[in-house]
């Protein structure tokens, strides 16, 4: 079994997949990659199932040594990345030679990128998922972010990866494919996205002034944001003149926009709680969650309302697009 040696862990590098659904009744959040779209594409580019375990890299990346030849792909935010001093291109499969040292530096734009390896990271499945549950300390690699000296195991590559890897010919320690996932398929990351939302179950608990401000104002991302949630502050100060009472704690979803008593919204991300008592003014359309996943402190967001039927159409169209990518990648090694 091939291995990856962690020479430098990066700011916060965790093993993530698409999450562990089915355990929310016990308080276990599905978790997984914050930018699930980037994780899926990175996995597809290495011949993996979309749900394979990969590294989620945050703000400043790790330095890794690959014991054996490995097919890898990076997707998501744009990071400085190099192998033995040569720039590693993202959004495409790359063959690394045995002993290659991959250094992922700081993010140029955005916050998170994903490094997938053909075969996926071989960490045990815990409650149906391979992702790291940081709060409870289970899943992923030892239930925590990577540290110096950790050694990650890689699973067996798929038949596609075995056929495709030798087509990347060359003696260099890094050979990249000549093709990539096109910009049309990647999420349209920006530092000030307009994010589409639907009305939340407590929309009516807020008055017309709050509704208007919520859909017009710019919200700035606070430094206390993390995998659990994006903390926002409204340009015009807190949204509430007087606090709205808590509700009986009920289920929440990723993308729920909660308004706590201080009136500064929190958008729940992958490591969200499973239930919450703050009123939810809106819910972000699933298709726009990757845009939020890439926001850093100081970036901003505005919200625009769409009907559920439109949000579902957008999601289904996005899935059709991903299906064509999947077919396209398959054809590169037949």
Partner 1 sequence: MKLAPLGDSAVIVTLGETPDAATVAAGCALAAALEAKPLPGLIECAQANASITVFYDPVRIPKRGGTSPFQRVCRWIEDRAPSAGQVAPISGRQMTLPVCYGGEFGLDLEMVGSVHGLTVDEVIALHSGFEYFVSAIGFIPGFPYLRGLPERLHTPRRPTPRTRVPAGSVAIGGAQTGIYPFETPGGWNLIGCTPWRLFNTYSQAPSLLQVGDRVRFRPITSDEYGASRSS
Apex 119 CA angle, 88 and 74, nearest 5: 25
Stretch that binds partner 1, among 115-123, 125-133, 169-177, 210-218 (CB under 8 A): 125-133
Helix ranges, the chain (H): 36-44, 159-164, 208-216, 289-293, 308-330
In whole angstroms, the minimum distance from the beta carbon of 266 to partner 1 comes to 13
CA distance 38 to 88: 17
Q: Which of 186, 156, 158 is nearest to 333 (CA)?
A: 158
Residue 274 interacting with partner 1 (CB under 8 A): yes
Residue 223 interacting with partner 1 (CB under 8 A): no
Q: Which of 272, 289, 287, 294 is nearest to 30 (CA)?
A: 272
Stretch that binds partner 1, among 33-41, 80-88, 97-105, 244-252 (CB under 8 A): 244-252
Question: Exactly one of 308, 321, 326, 330 binds partner 1 (CB under 8 A); which one?
Answer: 308
Tokens of 184: 């049309």
**Nearer to partner 1 by C-beta: 2 or 14?**
14
Pairing state of beta strands 101-117 and 70-83?
antiparallel
Residue 312 interacting with partner 1 (CB under 8 A): yes
Stretch that binds partner 1, among 55-63, 65-73, 178-186, 197-205 (CB under 8 A): 197-205
Question: Exactly one of 248, 327, 331, 334 binds partner 1 (CB under 8 A); which one?
Answer: 248
CA distance 61 to 53: 17
Question: Exactly one of 107, 116, 176, 285 binds partner 1 (CB under 8 A); which one?
Answer: 285
Tokens of 333: 């090694």
* Total of residues contacting partner 1 (CB under 8 A): 44
Pairing state of beta strands 86-87 and 12-16?
unpaired
**Nearer to partner 1 by C-beta: 135 or 212?**
135
Residues near partner 1 (CB under 8 A) are: 21-28, 126-127, 133, 135-139, 198, 200-201, 246, 248-253, 255-256, 273-276, 280, 283-286, 308-309, 311-312, 315-316, 319
């Amino acid at each position: 079994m091939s291995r990856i040696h962690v020479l430098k862990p990066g700011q916060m590098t965790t093993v993530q997949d698409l999450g562990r659904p089915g355990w929310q009744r016990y308080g276990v959040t599905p978790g997984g990659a914050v930018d699930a779209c980037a994780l899926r594409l990175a996995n597809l580019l290495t011949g993996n199932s979309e749900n394979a375990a990969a590294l989620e890299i945050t703000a400043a990346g790790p330095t890794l040594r690959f014991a054996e030849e490995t097919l890898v792909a990076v997707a998501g935010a744009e990071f400085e990345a190099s192998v033995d001093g040569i720039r590693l291109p993202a959004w495409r499969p790359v063959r690394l030679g045995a002993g290659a040292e991959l250094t992922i530096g700081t993010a140029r734009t955005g916050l998170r990128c994903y490094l997938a390896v053909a075969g996926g990271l071989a960490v045990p499945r815990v409650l149906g998922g391979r992702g790291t549950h940081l709060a409870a300390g289970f899943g992923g690699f030892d239930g925590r972010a990577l540290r110096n000296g950790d050694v990650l195991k890689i699973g067996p590559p798929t038949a596609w990866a075995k056929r495709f890897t030798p087509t990347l010919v060359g003696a260099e320690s890094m050979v990249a494919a000549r093709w990539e996932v096109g910009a049309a398929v990647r999420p349209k990351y920006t530092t000030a996205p307009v994010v589409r939302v639907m009305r939340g179950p407590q929309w009516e608990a807020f008055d017309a002034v709050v509704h208007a401000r919520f859909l017009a104002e710019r919200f700035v991302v606070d430094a206390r944001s993390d995998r659990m949630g994006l903390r926002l502050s409204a340009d015009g100060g807190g949204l509430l003149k007087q606090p709205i009472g808590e509700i009986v704690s009920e289920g929440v979803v990723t993308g729920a926009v909660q308004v706590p008593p201080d009136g500064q919204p929190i958008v729940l991300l992958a490591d969200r709680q499973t239930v919450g008592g703050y009123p939810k003014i809106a819910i972000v359309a699933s298709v726009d969650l990757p845009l939020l996943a890439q926001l850093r402190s100081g970036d901003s967001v505005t919200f625009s309302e769409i009907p559920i039927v439109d949000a579902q159409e957008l999601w289904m169209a996005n899935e059709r697009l991903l299906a064509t990518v999947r077919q396209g990648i398959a054809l590169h090694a037949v």
